[in-house]
Chains A and B, each alone.
Chain A
Amino acid sequence: MIELNHVTKTYPGASQPAVDSVSLTIPEGEICVFIGPSGCGKTTLMRLTNRLIPITSGSISVDGKDIMGLDPIELRRHIGYAIQQVGLFPHMTVRDNIATVPKLLGWARTKIDARVDELLTLVNLEPGTFRDRYPRQLSGGQAQRVGVARAMAADPPIMLMDEPFGAIDPINREVLQDEFLRIQDKLKKTIIFVTHDINEAIKMGQRIALLKEGRLIQTGLPDELLNRPADEFVKSFVGADRVLKRLNLLKVRDAMMTNPVHCRSEDSSEKVLEQMVKNDLAFLIVTDRDQRLLGYVNQYDLRGHKGHAGDVARKLTLTVSPERNLKEALSQMLSYDLGILVVVGEDGRIQGVLNSTTLCSLVGSTYDEHGGHWGRITAAGRIL
């Protein structure tokens, strides 16, 4: 746990404080993302936390202990720090860079080698290829990942990561973010993560702290920042497309309508057609006895058909899992020009239906100044 208590830092000779009375608690095992414009004091806050620079006023405590009462070297070995400029040691190989702290701690050679390879794999660099390279033989993004590995080497319970994925291409960045979150799920480190990228902040942060000119403007869950920006600055920072960004945070499960109307394959075609005409339905989902999706029928196919609805059912190839995020689902709907998307669980059973009209009003309505309308939409189960 890291607690910042009215932390203020004025650099010698500066007229304005670089960090101005910031109070914030980062609970054990959480990732807190610091975000804000260049020069707002993100790096300064990190340097204060591991005592690379002295605090002007206020206090910081780590795991309940005031850092001023701790030995700075011990403190820093307790806190992994991946600096913004990477700062790999150019005269050491990748292995030796990562092994710096383990060596200082006197680990056995075999243990160090195993750890180096483990960390390289973790940051998506093939150990055999990269272990013996020198920093000058790495690309910017590769060097950055080695920097992260070096900071994690001795498995510190707390990590300060200053734009750790800044120089990495979007595809690799996504891979690293996912991998990182997967590991974090197990390791449960307490992490301060700096980024300039609001999408990265939303994805990585359990909590986001937005800074401006050294002051903490807003802190909260990613959804809160998007949903209830404190002021115009936050609003513009999270972007005009904050509504769309929220799609990333929501799962299909959150937006789908459960209990969609459907028929069974053994229902008679005549009966089904009758119901469809009565309820003015163009299509109807067909399932087996166990609610497993078989396909769909339309009125044209059923007309004049004597037999079971299952006989004339058409295959439904595009379905979506309830765990996918809404952005991906919407993108699927848009690219295939689908009005609806059937939500199917891993067991093949239908769980609900996603409909573009209700999807839009769902995301939009939560921004309604007068409160959300989740209830209205999900209750309107009959969408076909």
Chain B
Amino acid sequence: MTTYDFIVRNWPELMSLAWQHTVFVSIALAIAIATGVPLGVYLTFNRRLADTVLYLAGIMMTVPSVALFGLMIPVLSVFGHGIGTVPAVIALVLYSQLPILRSTYAAIRSVDPAIIEAGLGIGMTRAQVLFKVQIPMSLGVIFSGVRVAVVMSIGIGAIAAYIGAGGLGQYIFNGITQTYDAMINAGAVAVSAMAILADFMFGRLERTLVSKGLRRD
């Protein structure tokens, strides 16, 4: 059976796996953005802490995902969540932190000090400069970090099937154990398609949210 035939015949199941995949990746990203962006912004006010945190986040990235999932099983078992969606989400949040943190931190810091001085000089408070100037100016770069995190999470999310989180990785793992090529391919194609689609959508969102004044053309 060709990959195409497999996809057509198993369309409802594929969709439900895709939905599962979307759900835990989305939850993870929502948490990662909600924590990573504010943390990244905060770090710009605390350079010493910034070095440490970015270093740790960098190390995090070097841990192979399979190993991380494995490592988390005994830890989370204590809370009764050794396998399933919870460890998958936690792992994805940890992986997404680095690109989001690093892009946020770099973007906020790269705002020309003269612009900040101009803002303060005409009587904006520090918070107003942060929220009305620095963050809007940084959105483009923050978005590029988020898009890296999105694409990466969808990919790594496939491995979460290994610890029973379900999702499209299930086809890949099952396909490997059953040496069923069409199933492996269907899982892989679906993961790629999802990543491309998500990246495209975030690109669109970026264009609407980031000021035209920051576009290079």
Q: Which residue numbers of A lie inside 8 Å of B, CB to CB? A: 47, 50, 52, 73-74, 76-77, 80-81, 83, 85-93, 100-101, 104, 134-136, 147, 150-151, 153, 160
Contacts and interface: CB of A to CB of B under 8 A. Distances in A.
Contacts of A153: 122
A91 B136 CA distance: 7
Given A89-B133, A91-B213, A136-B213, A150 B122 contact: yes
Contact of B114 (A73, A85, A150): A85
Interface of B is mostly: helix
Interface string B8-30: 00000000000000000000000
Contacts of B214: 90-91
B211 interface: yes
Contacts of A77: 122-123
Nearest to A135: B213
B137 A76 contact: no
B144 to A, nearest CB: 16
Nearest to B136: A91
Nearest to A89: B133
Contact of A87 (B117, B128, B136, B211): B117
A160 B117 CA distance: 13
A18 B137 CA distance: 32
Contacts of B124: 73, 100-101, 104
Nearest to B140: A91
Given A87-B116, A153-B122, 8 more contacts: A47-B117, A87-B119, A88-B115, A89-B118, A91-B210, A92-B213, A100-B124, A134-B211
Contact of A73 (B116, B123, B211, B212): B123
A83 B136 contact: no
B211 A91 contact: yes
Interface residues on B, range: 20 to 34
Given A92-B213, A93-B213, A87 B115 contact: yes
Interface in B156-173: none
Contacts of B213: 90-93, 134-136
B121 interface: yes
A100 to B, nearest CB: 6
Contact of B119 (A47, A74, A89, A93): A89
Contacts of B211: 90-92, 134
Interface in B126-177: 128, 132-133, 136-137
Given A89-B115, A91-B137, A134-B212, A104 B120 contact: no
**10 nearest A-B pairs in the assembled complex, by CB-CB distance:** A87-B118, A134-B213, A91-B211, A77-B123, A81-B121, A85-B114, A76-B123, A87-B114, A87-B115, A91-B213
A103 to B, nearest CB: 9
A160 B211 CA distance: 30
A134 B137 CA distance: 13
Contacts of A89: 115, 118-119, 133, 137
A74 B122 CA distance: 10
A86 B121 contact: no
A337 B11 CA distance: 97
A89 B128 CA distance: 13
In this complex, the member of B122, B132, B136, B212 whose beta carbon has the largest number of chain A beta carbons within 10 angstroms is B122
Given A81-B121, A101-B123, A134-B213, A90 B114 contact: no
Given A91-B136, A134-B212, A101 B119 contact: no
Contacts of B192: none
A46 to B, nearest CB: 9
A74 B125 CA distance: 10
A80 B114 CA distance: 16
Contacts of A86: 114, 118
Contacts of A151: 121-122
Contacts of B136: 91
Contacts of B114: 83, 85-87
